[in-house]
Amino acid sequence: MTDTITLTGLVATTPRHLVTGEGLPITSFRLASTQRRYDRGAQKWIDGETNWYTITAFRQLAINLVGSVVKGQRIVVTGKLRIRDWETGDRAGTTIEVDAEALGHDLAWGTSVFTRSVSSTVVNDADLPSDRAAVLDGDGGPDAVDASAAGVSVDADEDAGGGTSADELAAARSRRPVELALPF
């Protein structure tokens, strides 16, 4: 059985990034989570005990993490909890690990700027889900984004119509690869 946990805390070590021989990106770091409480008698905040976790992220989350999070920042992380007992000769202990599913800055302590990452995959319009293809074709309805605003280059003669029939445009679009950087 896998338990899901959400934690807040400080990134206590510099995130360590590696790529396995099979091409799997992995990033890990230690998280220090200390609960605080307000002591009304002393009129100050008091730190409780610190719990230590090893956070591990895989694939795209690992890549985004290493480019976004540094030691000392406050974060929120959600993931699958794993508790492991270990023993090495004369020492034994318990390691608490979290396989991260989502991770970000803790906005209770500061601000952050989000930049969407899109893998640079080349696809044809025909490979897009119908709502994405409609956006590129200009048939997306009132909330549609213009293809040029979506980061998709459109030839000037295609964009203006240039006397080209709809069948010729459809045929050209099915052959022409489009690199996507859509804002949704």
CATH number of the domain where residue 31 is located: 2.40.50.140
Tell me whether strands 16-19 and 3-11 are parallel, antiparallel or unpaired: unpaired
| 59 and 127 belong to one structural domain | no
| Count of structural domains within the chain | 2
Residues 41 and 128 occupy one common structural domain: no
* Mean predicted confidence (pLDDT) in 62-67: 91
Residues 97, 50 share a domain? yes
Domain boundary among 77, 105, 133: 105
Residue 114 covered by a domain: no
Q: Residue 118 pLDDT > 90, yes or no?
A: no
pLDDT at position 132 over 80? no
**Does residue 42 sit in the same domain as residue 96?**
yes
- Show the tokens assigned to 81: 């909890």
Residues 75 and 100: beta-carbon distance below 8 Å: no
Q: What are the CA-CA distances from residue 36 to residues 41, 96, 119, 146 (Å)?
A: 15, 21, 40, 49
More reliable by pLDDT, 56 or 148: 56
Query: Residue 23 domain-assigned?
Result: yes
Among 52-56, 60-64, 135-139, which is the least confidently predicted range?
135-139
Mean of pLDDT over the chain = 75
State which residues form the domain around 143: 122-179
